[in-house]
Chains A and B, each alone.
Chain A
Amino acid sequence: MSRRLTLALVLVATPAFADAITPPTTNPVAPPDLSDQAIGVELGAATGGRVTAGGLRVEGHYLYQLSARDWFDGTADFTFGGNSPGCFRDRSNAFICDHGLASGDAFEIVAAVRHFFVGDGQFWPFVRGGVGLRFVRFGDDSVTGVAIPLHLGGGVRVSITPAVAITVQGELELGIGDFSHTLGAEPQLGIAITAGVEFRL
């Protein structure tokens, strides 16, 4: 091997090796342990009322990195509430539903974006916004509906190990739906608080 070729190889290899062993000099703008994809599961509670289902909330998340601070957050969630009847006919014969905070069942798919703010060590706060497609059912009243709620909230991601993190978040869910049984268009309004674990892929 010629001396010139050896020199060229050293010049090429040295910066790459230096990058591998030298920590980045700039502060990270998102959790450094969060890769471009992750999955998560969360458990919590959602408040309902009228024709918004509320109760136990179970969520599954799929995260995909969009930019330095933003991840797509695709969510599928179930809400399990009580099933006592809450609908009646008022004096003008209009059908009205007045369910409590934890009543009805729902399944929803949400497309959201999670934006991280600069964190401190393990703790990374974020905001989250998105839109969902929700199927709602109040069994004892034979009422079903399809709704499109907006999701606005935030939380914090706490890195536990390089591959595992805990998340805690809360959000406001506001939208409108179309319901059976002559109800027609009805609002969706609720709050959800969940906590869970995330795994990098």
Chain B
Amino acid sequence: MRFVFVMGLMAACQSSDVSREVGARCDTNADCDQKCEVPSANWPDGFCTELCDTDANCPEGTVCIDEDGGICAFTCAADPDCTFLGAYSCKQRDSHGGGAKVNACRGD
């Protein structure tokens, strides 16, 4: 009985690194809370994201990059930080609204 309870609790508390907000795989916007970057070399397997003006509009762990009018992408320091997304690597991109360069996980 105790085993079942603990297993249930553990399973109930599992979480994913990605979400419908940012990071989930997608084919259309309906797969995401807001926007789907459809599968391409830039966004392998598709990438759910949110529109943004500054980093403050993005969930924790993501930054606002200057693409498609400003979208949130996972921040990184090196390529291994992006492996949880699959075929993604750490690339330097323009920050949207900040005027600086930021590192974000991306395909090509």
9 closest pairs, A vs B, by CB?
A88-B24, A189-B12, A89-B25, A187-B11, A187-B8, A88-B20, A187-B12, A90-B16, A91-B86
Q: What's the Cα separation between A148 and B9 when bound, in Å?
A: 15
Chain A residues with Cβ below 8 Å from B33 are 85
Question: Is the CB of A93 closer than 8 A to any CB of chain B?
Answer: yes
Which A residues, 42 to 101, have Cβ-Cβ distances below 8 Å to chain B? 49-50, 52, 85-91, 93, 96, 98
A175 touches B8 (CB 8 A): yes
Question: Is the CB of A186 closer than 8 A to any CB of chain B?
Answer: yes
Chain B residues with Cβ below 8 Å from A49 are 12
- Across the interface, name the chain B residue whose C-beta is closest to A93: B25
Q: How far is the CB of B57 from chain A (nearest CB, A)?
A: 20
Q: What's the Cα separation between A88 and B19 when bound, in Å?
A: 7
Residues of A within 8 A of B (CB): 49-50, 52, 85-91, 93, 96, 98, 174-176, 186-189
Secondary structure call for the A interface: strand
Q: Mark B32-63, 1 if CB is under 8 A from A, else 0.
A: 11000000000001001000000000000000
- Across the interface, name the chain A residue whose C-beta is closest to B11: A187
Q: Please indicate which of the listed interface residues A88, A96, A175, A188 has the most CB atoms of chain B within 10 Å of its own CB.
A: A88
Q: How far is the CB of B76 from chain A (nearest CB, A)?
A: 15
15 A–B contact pairs at CB < 8 A? Answer: A50-B12, A86-B20, A87-B20, A88-B25, A89-B24, A91-B23, A91-B45, A93-B25, A96-B16, A98-B19, A174-B8, A175-B8, A176-B8, A187-B8, A187-B12
Chain A residues with Cβ below 8 Å from B48 are 88
12 further interface pairs, Cβ-Cβ under 8 Å (given A91-B23, A91-B85, A187-B9)? A50-B12, A88-B32, A90-B16, A91-B25, A91-B84, A93-B45, A174-B8, A175-B8, A186-B11, A189-B8, A189-B9, A189-B12
B8 touches A98 (CB 8 A): no
Q: What's the Cα separation between A98 and B5 when bound, in Å?
A: 20
Q: Mark B74-106, 1 if CB is under 8 A from A, else 0.
A: 000000000011100000000000000000000
Q: How far is the CB of B50 from chain A (nearest CB, A)?
A: 13
Q: What's the Cα separation between A81 and B89 when bound, in Å?
A: 40
